[in-house]
Amino acid sequence: MRHKALSTYTVEDLLEEVEARKQDKPSPLDVYNVITLRQLCVDYIERFDSYKHDDDIEHYIFEEALKMIYGKDIFNWVNQKLK
């Protein structure tokens, strides 16, 4: 819920927002799997030699880092917060 007049929301919308805000922030995992993140970083560096730089790779690295630290479902929480 962003940038709309309060009167445009239904009671259900408001209750959903309240519940979403009650969700605890995720905690970092105790054990990390760095295999995918490592490969993305290697690919990023290797592409400079081949002149095949992918503008989106930084985004993929960021996503993989969040999943590595917080778990594969982190974006469910992030997307709920961005609604």
Taking only the tens place, the pLDDT of each residue in 26-46 is 889 998 889 999 999 998 888
pLDDT at 62: 94
Nearest to 32 by CA among 74, 77, 70: 70
What proportion of the chain, given as a percentage, has pLDDT over 90? 33
> Tokens in use for 77?
């929480």
d(C-alpha 70, C-alpha 73), whole Å: 8
Grouping H, G, I as helix, E, B as strand and the rest as coil, residue 51 is: coil
pLDDT at 3 over 90: no
Q: Which residues contact 23 (CB under 8 A, 6 or more apart)?
A: 77, 80
pTM for the full model?
0.65
64-74 average pLDDT score = 93
